[in-house]
Structure 1
Amino acid sequence: MNPTLWATLTDDQKNGVYEGHGTFIELITGTGEMVETKALAEPSETKTVRVEGGETQVQKSAFVESEAFLCGYYVVDVETEERAVELAAMIPDARYTAVEVRKIVHEG
């Protein structure tokens, strides 16, 4: 998410993104590829925690200062990386900003 870019979108474009997520969720739920999705709070609500010298330090901001930020994610179960990329291109935000694709390397 890039708030500066988001501010340039029309109300119709923003509504298209919101509605597009509903359509995308229906699609990947229907194909059985949906595992989970979460929307995340804005960076202004972020707390970064470090332990230094045995003391917990809490900073009321994001770890990396940037205009763009992770605003949510989808976890999908797909057969190939190509399918993951195909699905990422269907996420409505991809028309306006980047969508990252990452493998899960460990599950707890």
Structure 2
Amino acid sequence: MKYLFLIYGDPTRDPTEPEAIQAEIDAYWGYDKLLADAGALLDSQALQGTETATTVQVGGDGGHTATDGPFAETREILGGYYLVDLPDLDAAIGWAARCPGALRGKIEIRPIMEFEQP
């Protein structure tokens, strides 16, 4: 079963000292290696800050508007994701609990819908 781990955190709690930033990056590299060694890692990426985001909305007339930034105002932002292939939700919960992002934020686990093309 494929799952997406969505990493949410409060950017005001991000480390600011170079050593702390490097320690967090190293923790993620270690987590990546654990998932890869287990054969579960399909993809993972960190996202740039919300200040780089663009939101697109399509109106009833088919025209669209693009605005800077995310639409919702929230303290927690989506900072990155892991796409994993694991046997079941219990395994996904166990792996999500080991994600460095769970220490200061939350990991949302979403099963991937798989469709058969006609």
TM interval, shorter chain, is: 0.7 to 0.9
Q: Which residue of 2 aligns with 1:90?
A: 98
- Counterpart CA distance in 2 for 1:90 and 1:3 is 20
Amino acid at match of 1:44: E
What's the % identity of the aligned pairs?
24
Q: Unaligned 5+ residue runs, structure 1?
A: none
Amino acid at match of 1:85: I
- Counterpart CA distance in 2 for 1:96 and 1:11 is 18
Deviation at 1:88, TM superposition (A): 0.7
Q: Which residue of 2 aligns with 1:21?
A: 28
TM-score (norm 1): 0.86
Amino acid at match of 2:43: E
Deviation at 1:38, TM superposition (A): 1.2
Deviation at 1:12, TM superposition (A): 4.6
What does the per-residue CA deviation read over 1:66-107, in whole Å, with 9 as the maximum and x for residues that have no partner?
121111000000001111111111111211111111111246
TM-score (norm 2): 0.80
In the TM superposition, 1:6-17 aligns within 5 A as: 6-7=14-15, 12-17=19-24
Q: Which residue of 1 aligns with 2:65?
A: 57
Aligned-pair Cα RMSD in Å: 1.9
The count of corresponding residues between Structure 1 and Structure 2 is: 107
Structure with a larger share of its residues in helix: 1
Higher relative contact order (CA 8 A, sep 6+): 2
1:47 and 2:57 are equivalent in the alignment = no
- Counterpart CA distance in 2 for 1:106 and 1:65 is 31
